[in-house]
Amino acid sequence: MARPSSTSAYAFLAFPLGVLIVFTLVPTMLGLGLSLFTWDGVGRASFAGLENFRALARDPRFGPALRNTLVFVVASVPPTVLIGFLVAAAMHARWFIGRSIARTMVFIPTVVSIVAIGFVWRWMLDDGGGLVPAMLRTLGFTDLPNFLQDGSWPMVSIIVVSIWRGIGLAAVLYLAALSNLGEGFDEAAACDGASRAQVLRHITWPLVGPTTVFLLITGAISALQVFDIVWAMTAGVENDATTVLNLYVFREFQQSRLGYASAIAVLIFVLTMLASAPAMTGRRARA
């Protein structure tokens, strides 16, 4: 054998790697560099050193955007993962009736675009004819806030909808992990008289650890970059209470403050790296 297949290998790789270089690698490098410049996209870019980052520290709108983003990450990712695990553990049990129909239903929001989800939930939560306020009123709650506009309610709504949407993916991945464990992984513990809650906490949960790590990392990364759901649920009524970092990047881009937009993007990049680093090293240490 050992026929050199270099020529065809390069032929197969030329286009895909070319696309990655031209549309991802080069723009990323230039984007990182741009954070050190002041540029409106038309005239000449002027070198500004770390001025963009210093300006960020002084910017009164940056603090809230950073805080909103971190609140979103912390409040949305862990609950999604935990609820997904509990749902999967219940559905995986032998006595659970209708596993496949329950799984189908839980998975529905995962395939729908986030923009459409935000749009549909805007109507669910609408002050005038929304289903949620109507149901709450039937239950006797009066004096309801406007869930999409009042105080911190918009952020709460966005977080709850994000959790609601993420559960399906978490549950399906946990279900796959659980069925890979095979039958009887928990029986020894059960024979030793452990309760079901103890088995779940001390046997099942550690065994699906890799899935948890995966969901937490990818969840944190996409939550740090959250954009679509905020845009869809607040377009037209947006305010500082729901401005997240990525939205801020986009607004600055629209204002042609490209260097400044890049500086915020670099910060998102660094946060992303920080979010995945401890999990990565922790995983390596355990392995």
Partner 1 sequence: MIRSPSRPARLLIHAAVYTLALSMALPFLWMLSTSLKSEAETLSGRVSLLPQSWRWSNFPAAVRAANLDRYYLNSLIIAALTTALGVLHNALAGYAFAKLRFRGRRTLLVLALFTMTLPVQVSFIFMALICARLGYLDNTTGLIVPFLASGFGIFYMKQVCTAVPGALLEAGRMDGMTDFELFWLIVRPAAWPGIAALAIITFVNSWNAFFWPLVAIDSDRAKTLPLAIADLASGKYVQSWPVRMAAATILTLPLLIGFLIFQRAFVRGVTMTGLKE
- Assess 23 for contact with partner 1 (CB under 8 A): yes
Residues numbered 189-248 forming contacts with partner 1, rule: CB under 8 A: 190, 196, 199, 214, 218, 221, 225, 227-228, 231-233, 235-236, 246
The window from 46-54, 58-66, 70-78, 119-127 that contacts partner 1 (CB under 8 A) reads: 119-127
Q: Shortest Cβ distance from residue 54 to partner 1 (Å)?
A: 19
- Assess 112 for contact with partner 1 (CB under 8 A): yes
- Assess 96 for contact with partner 1 (CB under 8 A): yes
CA-wise closest residue to 190 among 266, 52, 94: 94
Query: With contact defined as beta carbons under 8 Å apart, do 155 and 242 qualify?
Result: yes
Please tell me the number of Cα atoms within 13 Å of 20 on its side-chain side.
4
Q: Shortest Cβ distance from residue 265 to partner 1 (Å)?
A: 4
- Please tell me the count of residues contacting partner 1 according to CB under 8 A: 108
- Assess 1 for contact with partner 1 (CB under 8 A): yes
Given 66, 73, 173, 178, the residue binding partner 1 (CB under 8 A) = 173
- Assess 108 for contact with partner 1 (CB under 8 A): yes
Residue count of the chain, please give it: 287
- DSSP-derived letter for residue 59 is -
The phi and psi torsions of 38 (rounded to 5 degrees) equal -110, 125
Which lies closer to partner 1 via its Cβ, residue 16 or residue 206?
16
- Assess 164 for contact with partner 1 (CB under 8 A): yes
37's tokens: 């410049």
- Assess 53 for contact with partner 1 (CB under 8 A): no
- Assess 41 for contact with partner 1 (CB under 8 A): yes
Q: Which residues sit opposite 80 in a β-bridge?
A: none
Q: In b/e form, how buried is each residue of 96-130, taking b as 16+ CB within 10 angstroms? A: eeeeeeebeebeebeeeebeebbeebbebbbeeeb
Given 64, 82, 119, 279, the residue binding partner 1 (CB under 8 A) = 119
- Assess 50 for contact with partner 1 (CB under 8 A): no
- Assess 261 for contact with partner 1 (CB under 8 A): yes
Given 74, 105, 274, 277, the residue binding partner 1 (CB under 8 A) = 105
Q: How far apart are CA 92 and CA 178, in angstroms?
A: 7
- Assess 138 for contact with partner 1 (CB under 8 A): yes
3-state secondary structure (DSSP) of residue 46: strand
Note the Cα 190 to chain centre separation in Å. Answer: 36
- Assess 274 for contact with partner 1 (CB under 8 A): no
- Assess 129 for contact with partner 1 (CB under 8 A): yes
Q: How far apart are CA 165 and CA 172, in angstroms?
A: 12
96's tokens: 């659970």
- The DSSP bridge pattern shows strands 37-38 and 46-47 to be antiparallel
Q: Shortest Cβ distance from residue 234 to partner 1 (Å)?
A: 9
Which lies closer to partner 1 via its Cβ, residue 2 or residue 285?
2
Q: Shortest Cβ distance from residue 63 to partner 1 (Å)?
A: 19
The window from 51-59, 60-68, 69-77, 97-105 that contacts partner 1 (CB under 8 A) reads: 97-105
Tell me the residue type at 36: L
Query: With contact defined as beta carbons under 8 Å apart, do 110 and 171 qualify?
Result: no
